[in-house]
Amino acid sequence: MKVRALKVLSLGVVVSLFTACSANEEATGNEDVNKEENENQEVNVDKEESYAGTYVGYSWGGEADGVTLEEAERKIETEITLDDDGVITDVSSLYLHDDGEGSWFARQDTDADVNVDFSVAPTLATPENEDQEYAAGDSMFEIDTANKMSFYALTVNEDGDVAFGIVEPYTRYLFEYKMDSDFDFSTPMKDMTIGSGLAVPTVRTSGSGPEGWDEDDNLLSFSLWGDPITDQGVFEGLDKESSMKEFLENAGVEFDGDAPAPMELTYDFFGLGGWEGNYKAIEESLIGENATELTSLIDWDIDRYNEGINDDNFFGVDDVSGATRTVQDSMDGISGATVRVTRESTAYQRALVEAGIISEEDVIKGRF
C-alpha cells in the first residue's frame, strides 16, 4: 500500500520567519542560518492512505477440501483498479478452466462452432433418476463452445424448414424445435409442449437436471422467479402466449407472410448474455463504488446467508437448518447478476485483501 505524506512548514518556522521580516532584529548571518534551518525543517502533520493501484483476487474449486490455488482446475480471477480514495475505476472478472494441457480458457468465451443436420429427427432425452441413468436423445445440433448457459441457435434452410435450439436455464437441457415450412408458426409457446412432440429436450448441458418430464411442460414452464429467457435480452417481453413466429422474429428470422425466409445459421446468448453478460453485469455494477465501503458482493447480515457460514468462514459447504447453500436469486439484486455470486464475491474480497482494505480473515469463502 502506498502512503502519501503531506509536507508543510511547522508553526514555529512560520512564526520565526514572520518575526525576522517584521522586526528585522536578527543579524544577517543569523537570518541566513535560521532560514536554511527552516527550509530543511519538514513535518508530517497528516498521513493519508492511498489505495491507488490494481489488485487481483482469486477463488477456486476445491478450496473447502484443501485444494490449493496452484492445484485448482477451476478458478475465478478478479482484478480491480482503485483510485486514491478506493473508488473502483476498472474491473475485470474471469471464470477460468484448466484445459488439461497447461492452458486456461474463460467460461465466458462466446465463440462457438455449431452445425445443424436437418436429416435428424430430435428425440427426447432420458432424465436421470433413481430408476434410470441419463441418456441423451438424438439432436440436430453439434455445439462446441466454452459454456452453453443461455445459448441458442437457429437456421432456416432453402425449403423454409426451421431448426431452433435453446438451452432452458433451469433444466439445463437443449430444447429443440424442428418445424417444416408449412408449420403453423402462430402456435403459442404454451402449446409447444413436450407431450405434443413440438418441444424436445434432447441433451443435458450440465451435470444435473430434472428427474422426469411433464407432458404439459413447455420452454417457459420451469421459472421459479422471473424468467431469464424473457425478462431481458433478445426475447424480452415475450411470454407463453407469444407465438413461435414472435420468438423466431426476435431472434432474427424474417417472414414472407406466414413462411420463414431462408436464414444462415446464427447463434447467441439470451437474457443477460450468458456468462459473459453476467460477468459484465457484475463489473459494471462495481464501477464507481468505493471498495472501502463495499467490502463484499453479498449482504452477509441476511440470516439465511449468514447462517450458512461455518467456523472456517466457508459458506454453503455444510447443511444448516434454515440456511441456504447458494446465493443466486436475481430478485435480491446481487450485483445485477444471476450467477452463484458467493464465489465471485470471494475473488472480489481477496482483491480487497491485496489492496489492504480487509484481511484474509474477513473473506467469506463461497461454495464453488
Q: What is the pLDDT of residue 32?
A: 53
Q: Locate cell 477440501: which residue?
A: 65
User: Using CA atoms, how far apart are residues 173 and 302, in angstroms rounded to an integer?
Assistant: 32
Q: Identify the weakest region by mean pLDDT among 54-58, 149-153, 158-162, 205-209.
A: 205-209
Q: What is the pLDDT of residue 338?
A: 37
Q: Is 246 left (phi over 0), alpha (psi -120 to 50) or beta?
A: alpha
Strands 259-260 and 2-8: unpaired
The model's confidence at residue 22, banded by pLDDT at 50, 70 and 90, is: very low
Q: Locate cell 478506493: which residue?
A: 86
Which residues have C-beta within 8 Å of that of residue 333, sequence separation ≥ 6? none
What is the Cβ-side half-sphere exposure of residue 326, based on CA atoms within 13 angstroms?
A: 7
Q: Has residue 98 got a pLDDT over 70?
A: yes
C-alpha grid cell for residue 68? 490449493
User: Using CA atoms, how far apart are residues 338 and 279, in angstroms rounded to an integer?
Assistant: 10
How wide is the angle at C-alpha 122 spanned by C-alphas 148 and 247, nearest 5°? 60
Q: Has residue 64 got a pLDDT over 80?
A: yes
Q: What is the pLDDT of residue 34?
A: 52
pLDDT digits (tens, 9 = 90+) for 225-242: 678 899 999 999 999 999
Q: What is the pLDDT of residue 347?
A: 97
Q: Has residue 6 got a pLDDT over 50?
A: no
Q: Has residue 58 got a pLDDT over 90?
A: yes
User: Using CA atoms, how far apart are residues 18 and 336, in angstroms rounded to an integer?
Assistant: 60
Q: What is the pLDDT of residue 276?
A: 94
pLDDT digits (tens, 9 = 90+) for 157-208: 999 999 999 999 999 999 999 999 999 999 999 999 999 999 999 999 998 8
Q: What mean pLDDT comes out for the span 130-146?
A: 96
Q: What is the pLDDT of residue 48?
A: 65
Q: What mean pLDDT comes out for the span 264-269?
A: 98
- Taking the domains of the chain in order of start, what are their residue ranges? 2-50, 53-87+288-362, 112-274
Q: Has residue 47 got a pLDDT over 60?
A: no
pTM above 0.85, yes or no: no
C-alpha grid cell for residue 341? 455470486
What strand order describes the sheet that includes 53-60?
53-60, 74-82, 88-98, 104-106
Q: Has residue 154 got a pLDDT over 90?
A: yes
Q: What mean pLDDT comes out for the span 47-59?
A: 89
C-alpha grid cell for residue 25? 532584529
Q: What is the pLDDT of residue 43?
A: 36
Q: Has residue 336 got a pLDDT over 50?
A: no
Q: What is the pLDDT of residue 304?
A: 83
Q: Would you call 193 helix, strand, or coil by DSSP?
A: coil
Task: Calculate the dihedral angle through the C-alpha atoms of 47, 52, 58, 64, rounding to the nearest 10 degrees.
Answer: 20
What is the H or E stretch that residue 269 is in?
strand 263-269
Q: Has residue 73 got a pLDDT over 90?
A: yes
Q: Has residue 328 got a pLDDT over 70?
A: no
Q: What is the pLDDT of residue 333?
A: 39
User: Using CA atoms, how far apart are residues 157 and 163, in angstroms rounded to an integer?
Assistant: 8
